Structure 1
């Protein structure tokens, strides 16, 4: 039996829609990948109807692209996580229409992963730890895998067991928001602007105090981070733009360090997600952790880890099936 699956992913940063074609017959095999850009208004839109139509249509396009490119592959199903609108431990709202994707691709669609997990006693996020275990776990090895998207999450693996898994803090979300406010683009390329600044202790301490009540494990809603950043406006008035960006890099790095310490500071740390392209952020993480910190690039393309993770969850039938 051929277990070919297409996994899709658009993270909280809404940078693009990623897809991968994978096979689980003999372990994990990444067959192909693809990325499609959203329309220019998608990243910042708050119109749920527009978001739903866009993510649905782009998903249909990218699935049909991979199907036509690999006509000989007997694709079993598509993993469609949708686009997160809001998330709590009790319920998750995802934009997108799996029924329409099913109709337009003639493929079974696994969707609503987060509410499926919540209904079975989970928090609905993060969901990638199960794939981290499947892909990275090694007998007798303690390691920590971070995914730095809009929100950062971490998975502590001890041997073949998930010891801890949680959202840990803001990843790129506040950095991207500040970049937009400064009109330097959708993000601070390589962290170059942040690197020109200095971390502001008063602003940093204010933000850290707003986060200190958060415990592990947890699932964060991105709106929470936007709200605390908005509440820091009075501090921001007296801080240069470069310093604000630098401070936000420090905040993201420190929250990763906190989880690393919470997990007894494993010597092996892997990072994937959009955050790996922020060279300044990666330097701060490496300096703060003081251990080996590598991206997943030599093992699996970092950009497509989450898409592969959802393909794996579909393979394990950890979602509702639409067919």
Structure 2
């Protein structure tokens, strides 16, 4: 069974894809990646998706057009994967396609009124993707978990358990995309997880505003600045950082407008120092999540090892600050375990598509807060 996983994350930098071989019956654990590909988003599409993060005129039309354009990029990545693997569409069982999150208001979100229903919205045109590729598409993974009372995110911890769990060893996996999410793989086999807060979303936006670059390559700009303790304390005063247990967030909450409100109370700060402080914010959010999750042992409140994936794994300022903030934890990237940092999330959605085809659950109620395990995703036949 071969499945494709496609992912475009909160950072809005592009679409990553992998083609995974799950074995003859689809039962070979996390499978084997046989091809990978990535296509950047155009400036125009990226701007359109960013604009849809907030209310505006003619949203339904603009969302439909952006969905179609994004689906074209997804189809392009799928075609590149087939070419790289020398395979025909008929040899692929399904594409797991996450889509682009433009609204995420799960249960307990401060943006919901008392009588308003929680929801999540990922832009994609899955029927269009099935038509373009000739491959079945599994999409809309989050909504079933939310319907069952869950947060709808993070969904990757079930895959992290299969890929990175180590018997008798506490292991943390942190994906640092636009939003950072943490998976706690306990030594006793238990799994917990949450969104820890902003990952690259503020770092990328601030860097682009002041340097013109979409992101701070290797964290080089941040390393030229200094952390501003008063600003960091003000950023961390946001109620999200004091929450514990089941929780998720997104660009709805953490965006440059949120940052600007706080910066208005700190006039005259240098942009490079803000960048350094935003690195510290990302790291502190991760560290607090590590320290507040229940690791199930009496020796301490931290895992033995922490593996980082996502774009933030390439940011040396983040990686160095993580090591300093969590000195008792051995920190590395998932590449150490044979999973290049750009593969992991896309592979997770190939795995979730496999779960859907086999009628198996894809969520972890201990992570999302759902009432129980659920089969995730809607299937669009080719």
Equivalent-residue separation in structure 2 for 1:71 and 1:239 (angstroms): 54
Task: Name the residue aligned to 1:253.
Answer: 283
CA distance in 1, matches of 2:183, 2:72: 32
Q: 1:13 deviation in Å?
A: 0.3
Deviation at 1:120, TM superposition (A): 3.3
Residue 141 of structure 1: how far off its partner (Å) = 1.4
2:223 matches 1:195: yes
State the partner residue of 1:315: 354
Q: Which residue number corresponds to residue 277 of structure 1?
A: 314
Whole-Å Cα distance in 2 between the matches of residues 50 and 149 of structure 1?
25
- Given the alignment of the two structures, is residue 229 of structure 1 paired with residue 266 of structure 2, yes or no? no
Write the deviation string for residues 214-239 of structure 1: whole angstroms up to 9, x where unpaired: 33321102121124312113134321
How many residues are aligned here? 321
Unpaired segments ≥5 residues, structure 1: none
Query: What is residue 293 of structure 1 aligned with on the other side?
Result: 331
Match of 2:72 in 1: 57
Contact 1:202–1:235 (CA<8 Å) still a contact in 2?
Answer: no
CA shift for structure 1 position 106: 1.3
Single out whichever of 259-268 and 301-310 deviates more from structure 2.
259-268
Alignment of 1:166 with 2:194, yes or no, is yes
Picking from 192, 215, 218, the partner of 2:244 is 215
Structure 1's 185 and 282: CA in aligned 2 closer, same or farther, altered over 3 A?
same
Correspondence for 1:303: 342
Q: Is the 8 A contact 2:197 2:241 kept in 1?
A: no
Using the TM superposition, give the Cα deviation of residue 136 of structure 1 relative to its aligned residue in structure 2, in angstroms.
0.9
| Bigger share in strand | 1
- Compared CA separation, residues 75 and 64, structure 1 to 2 (3 A): same
1:220-275: CA deviations, max 9, x gaps? 02121124312113134321011100110111111111111113111111010000
Q: Which runs of 5+ in 2 are unaligned?
A: 53-62, 107-117, 294-300, 357-375
Q: Distance in 2 between matches of 1:208 and 1:33?
A: 37
Aligned pair partner of 1:178 in 189, 196, 206: 206
Look up the SS of the partner of 2:47 in the other structure. coil
CA contact (8 A) 1:145 1:154 kept: yes
Superposition RMSD in Å:
1.6
Aligned counterpart, 2:58: none
The answer as to 2:89 corresponding to 1:70 is no
Secondary structure, counterpart of 2:264 in structure 1:
helix
**Pairing 1:19–2:3 present:** no
> Aligned equivalents of 2:77 and 2:211: distance in 1?
30
Map of 1:118-133 to 2, 5 A cutoff?
Answer: 118-133=146-161
Is contact 1:84–1:94 with CA below 8 Å preserved after alignment? yes
TM-score by length of 2: 0.81
CA distances 1:174-233 after superposition (whole Å, capped 9, x unpaired): 101101110340011111111111111121111111144433321102121124312113
* Farther-moved stretch of structure 1 (261-270 vs 6-15): 261-270
Per-residue CA distance 1:100-144 (angstroms, 9 max, x = gap):
011111111000001122223431111110100111112211111
